[in-house]
């Protein structure tokens, strides 16, 4: 008498998937700095894991990934008519500074130049960051910098440049950048700010030290993946998302392209867009795989060579992407 065995292919598939995810978690856990990992595909949460005893519901300082949020808020401010266009010169928003420090070249810097880090002004990041943040006026310090490149020339990455965008949002809208974000972006998405630094004049920091929960970062990534739409609301225009993901310049220190405060790079053969913060804070968006990957990491003393990047990108390329491909094929 013969026996016939029936295999529940759905359960087998789920078992394989769990095995793949466990392998990804083990690999992530081996990366010293990584604290949380969330993978979402086609709007479905596939995995979320915390490491080193961290709590997924705790807000994390996303460091310079804050710049990508400022980029979105700038687009909303333009869409709502608070800022006329990306070609608006910065002199419109800092008349007091330019009355005391007339400079026709600096006055011609535009919102677009701020968004793409092409102001040409010396950076207030990296080795210059400390002097900038201990100054008594961050706006003045950023605008006081000499030109090290032409306007519209090479990229000069600078947190002070993103901070100018935050101050412009405040000046243009008449409310703080935080209040603006809560009204037009965070509020509709049920995102609560865990913390956000201010400058000596009380302006919310544009480009660093915003704290959000990892799950809220996934919401931001999904918003971008869905062309600015969240539920039934178009929070950010489709055109702005597309323009934010453009490439207008390249970093001098890595192979990444730069849009409107968002980075891009091919990973594993897929065009990938990402917000990036020091120490390993990432929102990866992979449109072709309909995927958002969020990684947060320890912000304790990072080395200048940013060696944390390599294992994170390898995790995405060699472990997460093949897992995602297996679900589509």
What's the pLDDT score for residue 34? Answer: 95
Q: What is the pLDDT of residues 211-266, one digit of tens each?
A: 999 999 999 999 999 999 999 999 999 999 999 999 999 988 888 999 999 999 99
What's the pLDDT score for residue 14? Answer: 54
All structural domains of the chain, each given as residue ranges with its CATH number in brackets, are 30-328 (3.40.710.10)
What's the pLDDT score for residue 308? Answer: 83
The DSSP secondary-structure symbol of 126 reads: G
Locate tokens 């605008």: which residue?
Answer: 143
Length of the chain: 329
List phi, psi (to 5°) of 223. -55, -45
The DSSP secondary-structure symbol of 294 reads: E
Q: What is the mean pLDDT of residues 168-184?
A: 98
Locate tokens 């295999």: which residue?
Answer: 7
Quick one: 12 exposed, middle or buried, by C-beta within 10 A (0-12, 13-18, 19+)? exposed
Please give the structure tokens belonging to residue 244.
Answer: 């934010």
Rounded CA gap, 17 and 30, in Å? 20
Q: What is the mean pLDDT of residues 116-124?
A: 98
- The pLDDT > 70 percentage for the chain reads 92
Q: What is the mean pLDDT of residues 161-184?
A: 98
Q: What is the pLDDT of residues 139-164, one digit of tens each?
A: 999 999 999 999 999 999 999 999 99
Locate tokens 């931001």: which residue?
Answer: 220
Q: Which of 254, 213, 203, 285 is nearest to 57 (CA)?
A: 213
What's the pLDDT score for residue 305? Answer: 56
Q: What is the pLDDT of residues 51-101, one digit of tens each?
A: 988 889 999 999 999 999 999 999 999 999 999 999 999 999 999 999 999
Locate tokens 């359960």: which residue?
Answer: 11
Element (H, E) at 283: strand 281-286
Rounded CA gap, 229 and 198, in Å? 29
């Amino acid at each position: 008498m013969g026996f016939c065995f029936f295999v529940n292919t759905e359960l087998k598939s789920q078992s394989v998937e769990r095995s793949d995810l466990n392998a990804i978690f083990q690999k992530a856990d081996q990366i010293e700095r990584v604290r949380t990992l969330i993978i979402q595909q086609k709007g479905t949460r596939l995995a979320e894991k915390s490491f080193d005893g961290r709590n997924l519901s705790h807000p994390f300082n996303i460091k310079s990934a804050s710049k990508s949020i400022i980029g979105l808020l700038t687009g909303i401010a333009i869409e709502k008519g608070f800022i006329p266009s990306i070609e608006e010169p910065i002199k419109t928003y800092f008349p007091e500074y330019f009355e005391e420090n007339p400079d026709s070249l600096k006055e011609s810097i535009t919102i677009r130049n701020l968004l793409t880090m092409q102001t040409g002004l010396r950076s207030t990041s990296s080795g210059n960051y400390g002097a900038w943040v201990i100054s008594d006026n961050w706006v003045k310090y950023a605008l006081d910098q000499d030109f090290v490149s032409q306007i519209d020339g090479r990229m000069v990455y600078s947190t002070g440049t993103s901070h100018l965008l935050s101050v412009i949002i405040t000046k243009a809208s008449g409310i703080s950048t935080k209040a603006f974000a809560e009204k037009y972006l965070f509020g509709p998405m049920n995102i609560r700010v865990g913390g956000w630094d201010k400058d000596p004049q009380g302006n919310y920091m544009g480009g660093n030290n915003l704290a959000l929960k990892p799950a809220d970062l996934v919401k931001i990534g999904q918003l971008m993946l869905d062309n600015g739409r969240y539920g039934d609301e178009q929070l950010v225009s489709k055109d702005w998302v597309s323009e934010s993901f453009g490439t207008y310049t390249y970093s001098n220190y890595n192979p990444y392209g730069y849009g409107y405060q968002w980075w891009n790079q091919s990973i594993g053969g897929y065009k990938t867009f990402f917000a990036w913060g020091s120490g390993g804070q990432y929102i990866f968006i992979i449109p072709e795989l309909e995927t958002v990957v969020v990684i947060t990491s320890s912000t304790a003393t990072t080395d200048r060579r940013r060696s944390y990047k390599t294992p994170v990108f390898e995790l995405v390329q060699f472990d997460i992407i093949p897992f995602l491909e297996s679900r589509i094929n």
